[in-house]
Structure 1
Amino acid sequence: MANIVITGSTKGIGFGLARAFLDSGHKVVISGRSESSVCEALDRLRTPFCKCRGQACDITDPAQVQALWDFAKIEFETIDIWINNAGIARTSWSILETPQQEIDAMVHTNLQGTINGCRVAATGMQQQPSGKIFNILGGGSDGEYYPGMGIYGSTKRALDYFSDALAKELDGTGILVGKIRPGMVITEAVIDEAKKNPEKFASTRPFMNNLVDQVDTVAKYLAQKMLDCNKTGQKIRWLTGGKIAARMLSGVVRKREDQFARHGL
């Protein structure tokens, strides 16, 4: 049984990961920016035998990240896996059109917040002295370009380098560092962006429908891969190149079931 902390886990892929780990019998501490969002998520996750706790945490504040670690240590004594999932994606603007406050939010949360999480987790795990740290990457982390994702993709590209650097610095310490590429998942953020820009969504919907997946499907796969991972620096992918090619080819022959309809889109 593993003890797991997941930042940004009151919704989206983070919430899905929490549910997947709990369903497998593990213990989880979830977190989000507000106390109300954490309490709501806990209510949705709890079952009679659920071993889940939660605490509000703004990952851009190192003191709050440290408080999250301390809380988890008190609750579970040891932390086996720390997942830096909290992030912000704004994909509706070009680089020059992106509002400054949105740039600041993505850079501070996606990059600085993940660095804060890694530093706190690695320092704490040195006292254990072992553990696994996983950083959730995303579009752009491999250097690929997507329209509207110039700023977001840059933060994820930087995280790819940072994760590699941290893995090398911690090599031999008993602390494993891994990277997660969840692929294209239909989260609340994706749904909100689709509703805000229906014309753009309509134009990309047929193509996207071949590649997107539901949170629960992806989270279950990723959770097991993280539990099984025993090599530092590893990148765990859900949507591999082979899977993309197979889906595009099959889409020519048979139309895939609409993945967005169940979300009211």
Structure 2
Amino acid sequence: MRVAVITLVAGRHRHLRLQRDGLAAGTRQPDHYLVVTMADPDAGKALDGRRPAAETVDVPVGPGGRLPLAAARNAGAARALADGADLLVFLDVDCVPGPGLLARYAETAADGALLCGTVAHLPPPPPEGYRLGELPGLAPPHPGRPAPGDGEVLRGGDHRLFWSLSFALTAATWRDLGGFCEDYTGYGGEDTDFARTAAARGVGLWWIGGAPAHHQYHPVSRPPVEHLDDILRNGALFRDRWGTWPMEGWLRDFADLGLVVHEPGTDTWRRTPETR
């Protein structure tokens, strides 16, 4: 089985370098390592002289500077498949794979399944940065997701819990799903849509023990007010496609801040007049 690792990059080169160090320390090396850049011409320089060897794939950013996350994942997958990949492993640029991640994904892979390993969110690093060997002791897996034991596979997972930080699927399953919907641009919604498509087509969600990833710290806003317009636009697209709104927790938080209002008659969330 030929394994491709695909990660999207728009900055955070220090995080990217540690991800690559994690791959190099793994019990199984990727056959392809594809770094998909979005308005980040310097990403390739951040990887010079490091192993495993990486190939960069450039994806243009559209109007308004919104990152084309769905299109970028599709571009990375297309290149991997053209190079003969049998298994696609997607890692967020902030995620450092544990030493057994690729091996576990490869040995548990099956057509008709989305594979998700555990993800632990790390505390802020010390001034000298994270030490690769110390990552497992810094944080437990995220409490909002299942955390199977090292040799365990939990089948029949809830597709609403899927996230794109760390997941894998076979080439045949990717082709069956058709990739991510590229109508989504900017922040939010495209991974929820992908999981909904998987559920609709009978592709199961499996939680894989022994495939941990460690998410490097970066500041976040709660709720993510800087992404308000993206969430409203992508949320409306999701509603049009599936009949319900995603990210409702954030929408309610925005409403509590007086930023948005829900119109029940049309099931529409909009900016309040004073914030338009």
More helix by share: 1
Q: Which has the higher strand share?
A: 2
The verdict on a shared fold, with TM-score over 0.5 as the criterion, is no
Q: Normalising TM by the smaller chain, what interval?
A: 0.3 to 0.5
Q: Which fold has the larger relative contact order, with Cα–Cα distance below 8 Å and residues 6 or more apart in sequence? A: 2
TM-score, scaled to structure 2: 0.35
Give the TM-score normalised by the residue count of structure 1.
Answer: 0.36
